[in-house]
Structure formats: structure tokens, C-alpha cells
Amino acid sequence: MKIDYKGKKALVRVDFNVPLDSNFNITDDTRIRGALPTIRHILDNGGAAILMSHLGRPTKKLLPDGSIDKEKFTLNHVVGHLSELLNVKVKFCNELVGDKAQKMAAGLQPGEVLVLENTRFEPGETKGDESLAKQLAKLGDVYVNDAFGTAHRAHASTTTVAQFFGKGEKEFGFLMDAEVKAAQKMLRNPPRPLTAIIGGAKVSDKILLLERLIDFVDNLLIGGGMAYTFVKAQGGNVGKSLVEEDKQELALTLLEKAKNKGVQLLLPEDSAIADQFDNSAKVSSANSHAIPDGWMGLDIGEKARKAYAGVVHDSKAILWNGPMGVFEMDNFAAGTKAIAKAVAKATQKGAFSLVGGGDSVAAVNQMGLADEISHVSTGGGAMLEFLEGKELPGIKAIEE
Ligand code: AMP
């Protein structure tokens, strides 16, 4: 971070969208911890921090009378824990903008922290409303965006607000900067061979990503439910595995494109199969092209795990998005776990690894391997869009 924060009030967009239990206790504070280095940097350099974030989707879960459930979605839920983590008594304003917010922001002294109310209590937030952004901009002298998870949304607090700050008055926080650098390294100048491992439920969710990856990866390993659309398109028998009938032609086009570009595209040779979509279902294994009728592939099989781990092992850059199977069910988590271990091992040997996308990140965290990956992304959708080659409005707004 380059701005001189001495005597300045920094308006900081953070991602404090943390999960809460029914008593509003934070059940996972990863996102809050992720923002601490940026907040501390501002305070340590003589500035004050005005923090804004969304929490949940308050406008999607209105009270019976049509109003916002402020008790449930107030950002005040994070204030106590943030105070403990920072060792600073954090102030809270129950408005995002307005007289009170202005007064509290104006009175803030160096070293102090103010949390504003949930950005999504204001209808203008998700619309990227200019007058809301202008009111927000008035609260701070400089603007910092450290919320990579919402960088793909052109909201008032993530994007529009930045236009009211000139060059040198806005920058990325440390978390955002690390995300952008990791993704850029993967896209622009990755060490090779570069292997992408793509899993998850459906081809349709990742068409753009797959198309784009074929342009620049050396190996593309496909797992998860989406593999069966490819296998079926090739004429395989996949039983009652998840198949998107209308994506078979696309699957064939992708296979052809990979061949023409010299990309090694692998599908799982074998699968862990079940007679039902259930952890207590009967389990067996089969060649992925010969899954018996009435059975479905719910994880990559042992041969596939070995083959994929071998490719990962020989890679210098690894990009992983999406689980290899229904990893939420213990019986079908082995493929995802094997990949997580292989990526960690390759990283230990010096490969650069980036894990992005909610479920693969969850798998890596569950296995306690996050520290053994070069970069674990905090922004599922944002990272996906970045890797697809889209320009993220929250990033562009800082850079222009
Ligand atoms: P995505 O959000 O696209 O990364 O997909 C993640 C979801 O895909 C997880 O909830 C997995 O349970 C699911 N999934 C992975 N493999 C399979 C499979 N073989 N059949 C059905 N669902 C799967």
C-alpha cells in the first residue's frame, strides 16, 4: 500500500460478510482476519479507518411487513470481535450515510476505527447508485478496496465510490492486492507446465472458464459432475450420473479445441459410483465409460486420482477450481482430498498454486492445507470471473 495515511481518514471497503449462528455469533472469522493487515497498516501509519461492508442479503430476506430485518443483518454483529482482534475499541454507526455517519466520521481521530451499517440496507448499493456513492465518498479522504469477494459487482461501495477519488487517493488493500497479483501471475506469465484442475457440478457454470483455460494451459484435468457430460458425449455409458444433455455438443467442441491446441485434457478413467445420491448409498467403482444403469458417478476413482496426482506433481503452476466429487459426503470426498494433497505437495516442491472457488477452498481449509497452497482465494465468483478474462469493475475503478 502506497498512500501516506498520516492524519487521513481512510474509507475502506472490506468483506465482513461472515457466517453467523442463530445467536449472531460469528462461526468463521476468516474474512475479518483477512482484512486486519490493511486496517492495521492504516492505523499504524497515523490514519483512521472507516469500514464498510455488506452482510448477507437483507433485501432478499425481508420481514413480513416488507422492511429490512435490521436485527439480523446489522454489521454491529462484527464490532465486538473486531475490537478484540484489533485491540482497539471499534465504534459503530447504525447508518451507512446521513448526518450521524457524517458526524461520527468527522470526529474520528487517528488510530480510531468506525464500522458503518450494512451497505445493503441502502437500496442504492447494489444498483451502483451515484448519489449514495457520493455521500459515502464524503466520509473519507482516501478510499481503499480490500473486498475481493465483491470486486465483480459494480456496487456503490465497491465501484462507483472510487470515481470520487483521484489517482493517489485510492488503492487496493493487502488482501485485494494479493488476489489480483496471484490471478495475474496465473494469467500472464505462469511457470510451466501449467495445469488446471476443474471440477464441480455442471459444465454450464464453467463454460467460459474451460474455453479460456484451453487457450493457455498445458494440462486440463476435469472431475466432478461435469466430467460425465464429456464422457457421455464421447459415447460412454454413465448410468444416472449428472449429465447436461444440451451441453454434449459443447463438450465435444472443447475436446476438439484442446486437441488442436495441444492441451492434454484428461477425464477420469474410473469413478466411485453409488446407487443413490446419498452418503449411505451402496458404493462401488467402475470405468467412467461403463457405469452400470441405475448407478451414478459421485467421485473420481482410484486410477484417476493417481493419474491426476501424477500430472499435478510434474507441474510448475496449478490452478484448481471445483471439487472432484460430492465431497460434502464422506464416501465421495477421497478424490477431492487426493487432489488437495497433491497440490500441497507440488507447492512444497516449488510450484505456484492458486485455489479459487468456494468448494475447493472449503476442501483445502477442512484438510488444514491452506498454508501449503501459494494462494487460496477468498473470492469464489470474483476469482472465477477474473480467470475467465473479464474485467472486474471493483478492480478497474481503482486502476483507472
Ligand atoms: P461448483 O459450485 O460448480 O464448484 O460445484 C460444487 C458442487 O458440485 C458440490 O456441491 C459437489 O457436491 C457437486 N458435485 C461434485 N461432483 C459431483 C458429481 N459427480 N455428481 C453430482 N454433484 C457433484
DSSP alpha helices (H): ranges in the chain? 30-44, 70-73, 79-86, 99-106, 124-127, 130-137, 174-188, 207-216, 226-233, 248-261, 302-313, 334-348, 358-366, 380-387, 393-399
Q: Give the model's pLDDT for residue 42.
A: 98
Same fold, 9-172 and 180-387: yes
Three cell numbers written together for 400 = 483507472
Q: Which residues contact 22 (CB under 8 A, 6 or more apart)?
A: none
Q: Give the model's pLDDT for residue 358.
A: 67
Q: Give the model's pLDDT for residue 362.
A: 85
Q: Give the model's pLDDT for residue 97.
A: 97
- Cβ burial of 92 (10 Å; 0-12, 13-18, 19+) is buried
CA of 274 to the centre of ligand 1 (A): 15
**Kind plus residue range of the DSSP H or E element containing 203:** none
Crossing angle of helices 207-216 and 248-261, in 10° steps, is 10
205 CB within 6 A, ligand 1: yes
Query: Could you read off the pLDDT tens digit of each residue along the chain, which spans 400 residues?
Result: 999 999 999 999 999 999 999 999 999 888 999 999 999 999 999 999 999 999 999 998 899 999 999 999 999 999 999 999 999 999 999 999 999 999 999 999 999 999 999 999 999 999 999 999 999 999 999 999 999 999 999 999 999 999 999 999 999 999 999 999 999 999 998 999 999 999 999 899 899 899 999 999 999 999 999 999 999 999 999 999 999 999 999 999 999 999 999 999 999 999 999 999 999 999 999 999 999 999 999 999 999 999 999 999 999 999 999 999 999 999 999 999 999 999 999 999 999 999 987 688 888 988 999 999 999 998 888 998 999 989 999 999 999 8
Task: Tell me the pTM.
Answer: 0.89
Could you give the 3-state DSSP secondary structure of residue 66?
A: coil
Pocket test for ligand 1, best of 198, 205, 270, 326 (most atoms within 8 A of CB): 326
Residue whose CA lies nearest to ligand 1 atom number 13: 201
**Buried b / exposed e across 240-278, counting CB within 10 Å, b at 16+?**
bbbbbeebbebbeebbeebeeeebebbbbbbbbbbeeee
Q: Which residues contact 348 (CB under 8 A, 6 or more apart)?
A: 372
Could you give the 3-state DSSP secondary structure of residue 222?
A: strand
CA of 325 to the centre of ligand 1 (A): 6
Three cell numbers written together for 35 = 482484512
Atom number, ligand 1, closest to the C-alpha of residue 321: 4
226 CB within 6 A, ligand 1: no
CB-hemisphere CA count at 13 Å for 147?
30
Q: Give the model's pLDDT for residue 267.
A: 98
Task: Please write the tens of the pLDDT for every residue from 293-327.
Answer: 999 999 999 999 999 999 999 999 999 999 999 99
Whether the Cβ atoms of residue 54 and residue 14 lie closer than 8 Å to each other = no
**The CA-based dihedral angle spanning residues 292, 296, 301, 303, taken in that order and rounded to the nearest 10 degrees:** 40
9-172: in CATH 3.40.920.10: no
Pairing mode, strands 270-274 and 283-287: antiparallel
Give the domain ranges of the chain. 9-172, 180-387
322 CB within 6 A, ligand 1: yes
Q: Look up the CATH superfamily of 180-387.
A: Phosphoglycerate kinase, N-terminal domain (3.40.50.1260)
C-alpha distance from residue 182 to each of 42, 188, 189, 250 (Å): 23, 10, 11, 29
Task: Please write the tens of the pLDDT for every residue from 240-255.
Answer: 999 999 999 999 999 9
